Amino acid sequence: MRRWLALLLVFAALTPGSPARADSNAPATPQRLSLGAGTTSMSLSWEQPRTGPRAQGFQVYEDGQVVARATTTSATVAVAFNSTHTYTVTAVDGQGHESAPTAPVSGHAWASGVNPECLSPAPLTITATAITASAASLSWPRHPLWQDLELRVGGVSLGRTTRTSARVGGLAPETTYSAGLYRYNNCLGQTVPVALGSLTTAAGSAARPAAPSALTVAGRTDTTVRLSWTAAEGPAPSRYAVYDGDTLVARTSSTTVTVGRLYHASWHTFTVAALNAAGDESTHTAPLPASTEACQAVPPRPIGLTATAVSPSSVRLRWVFPSAATSYTVLDGDRPVVTAAGPEAMVTGLASGSRHTFRVTATLPNGCGETPRGTAVTVTTLAGPAGRAAQPADLTLTGNAPLGVDATAITLAWTASSGEEPATGYRVYEGATLAGETTGTELSLTVGAGTRHTYTVVAVAAAGTESAQSAPLTVYATYLPPP
């Protein structure tokens, strides 16, 4: 509980225009931020250094604004089709200290309509670092077709990888090796290189310990993966080195190890090498993909809830959730009153001068259930008339047409309010934001192409009071398919 109270303090302190300044107590800055651009989303992933304070969460920034939060090392941001975006990521620890931002990455939401295998981009560059007489670390930018790549060093296949780095051992001293990532191109009907590089090992002894084998996952939690392997026959090595990609995560003299400081729902590629007394590395085991448990043992809860009475009938709620959520539920006491798509909501149709106690829970992705309820906030609506118009019904989408490539015209319609208190108009809300208002029962809006929206409609009486909201309607704006 204390760590999320601390996060509340830092999120409350953040100004809308910029990330908080990093200080000496902050976690290390995330590394290797990469971006995969889709037609209507941006998929971001990064790695968190294993040194310094452990990060409890991450914030994704665009133009100085937080656009996503995560408690794991990846995030997906929904965007409009044919739009360009630039992001940075910071790490936040349990005391609310925020790291410096990563270097920015950019992407354009688009699909060309051409099979990406039939394009001919220049091969990426593989970079070699931490080179010794027996081993080297290799890294490369993320390839658009990263799911099906084969790593070869010196013409020898080291298996398939979805990562952007690897550690290679068992090399000969003072020897130059080629390094390449390859994939089978269905458009060309042949295997082609997608990344190329080379390395030259340092001088040293040619002695190499025998390689371990049969690397397996023996257990996992939301923050750890337990690994086991089989030792090679013969003299026992001095110790074993365990790598995640090219990152050293453990050294041990045993044939089992628990790798910690991981994040839930995160993917890893482990290898193990034997080390002799001089530190020379054997050939590594075959790479082993492994993930942590998707669900957190102790998930965060919504924090920073504010409730503002905006009229005798309505309250605006906003909050912060330090992770990803599929939806939120607002409770008045113990009674659910609103389901929201994002971290804000309007609660309407309330009685004048009435007292309410609101809490929020988040529904987690990956089937991980609901979080505990956030801290309660009490608010009293403004004094005013008692009359309320009846709730509108049957909110539907009646128009959904692209306006060129960048925008879409959507039209919403609903059944008129009918009750003793006549409606003089209607307001359409998206979360706590007024999307538009009209005196009729239809409203047209212009939105970004390919974007998703969740709307409700309320009836407004002559005194300005609002009815209860209609059932929510989620709309996916169409977009022109690429040529």
What CATH class does 2-108 carry? mainly beta
Read off the pLDDT band of 483 (50, 70, 90).
Answer: low
Q: Report the alpha-carbon angle 64-68-71, nearest 5.
A: 125
* Domain ranges across the chain: 2-108, 122-291, 299-384, 390-483
What number is the average pLDDT over the span 381-396?
96
- What pLDDT sits at residue 25? 86
Q: Measured between alpha carbons, how far is residue 418 from residues 126, 388, 460 in Å? A: 68, 11, 12
With 60 as the cut, is the pLDDT of residue 480 above it? yes
Instruction: Give percent of the chain above pLDDT 70.
Output: 94
pLDDT band at 304 (very low <50, low <70, confident <90, very high): very high
- pTM of the entire predicted model: 0.90
Closest CA to 426 of 320, 348, 338, 325: 348
| Higher per-residue confidence, 311 vs 120 | 311
Asked if residue 392 lies in contact with residue 384, where contact means CB atoms within 8 angstroms, the answer is no
pLDDT at 289 over 50: yes
Residue (of 427, 425, 420, 430) closest to 452 by Cα position: 430
**Architecture of the domain whose range is 390-483:** Sandwich (2.60)
- Under 8 Å CB-to-CB from 122, ≥6 apart: which residues? none
Confidence of residue 419 (pLDDT cuts 50, 70, 90): confident
| Dist CA 479 CA 476 (whole Å) | 9
Q: Would you say the CATH fold of 390-483 matches that of 299-384? A: yes
Looking at residues 332-340, what average pLDDT do you find? 96
Class of domain 299-384: mainly beta
Q: What local confidence, expressed as pLDDT, does residue 16 receive?
A: 41
> 3-state class of 405 per DSSP?
coil
Q: Give the pLDDT confidence score for residue 143 in this predicted structure.
A: 84
Mean pLDDT of 432-442: 97
Average pLDDT over residues 249-255: 97
pLDDT at 19: 56
Residue 420 pLDDT level (bands cut at 50, 70, 90)? confident
pLDDT tens per residue across span 94-127: 888 999 999 999 999 987 766 777 776 778 999 9
In this prediction, residue 481 carries a pLDDT of 80
- Average pLDDT on 345-358 reads 98
Cα 120 from chain centre: 30
Cβ–Cβ under 8 Å, residues 241 and 273: yes
Which DSSP letter does residue 388 get?
-
Distances (CA, A) of 284 to 168, 199, 384, 461: 7, 17, 74, 73
More confident residue, 190 or 135: 135
Residue 295 reports pLDDT greater than 90: yes
Going by pLDDT thresholds of 50, 70 and 90, the confidence category of residue 144 is confident
* Mean pLDDT score, 47-68: 96
Q: Does domain 122-291 have CATH number 2.60.40.10?
A: yes
- Taking residues 271-285, what's their average pLDDT? 96
- Count how many Cα atoms sit within 13 Å of the Cα of residue 167 in the half-sphere of its side chain: 26
Say if residue 482's pLDDT is above 80: no
Count of helices and strands (H, E) across the chain:
1, 36
Average pLDDT over the chain, rounded to whole?
Answer: 92
Q: What mean pLDDT is predicted for residues 296-316?
A: 97
Residue range 338-358: mean pLDDT, rounded: 97
The pair of structure tokens assigned to 44 is: 């971001």
For 10-57, the pLDDT digits (tens) are 444 343 445 555 577 899 999 999 999 999 999 999 999 999 999 999
Query: 161 vs 138, 147, 164, CA distance in Å?
Result: 12, 8, 8
Please give the radius of gyration of the chain, using alpha carbons only, rounded to the nearest integer: 27
Q: What is the mean pLDDT of residues 440-464?
A: 97
The DSSP result for 19-38, as a single string, is PPPP-TTSPPPPEEEEEEE-
- What gap in Å lies between CA 363 and CA 349, rounded to an integer? 25
Residues paired with residue 461 on neighbouring β-strands, in sequence order = 423
As a whole number, mean pLDDT of residues 327-333 equals: 98
Closest CA to 112 of 36, 188, 38, 186: 38
| CA–CA dist 166, 204 (Å, integer) | 22
Percentage of the chain modeled with pLDDT above 90: 83
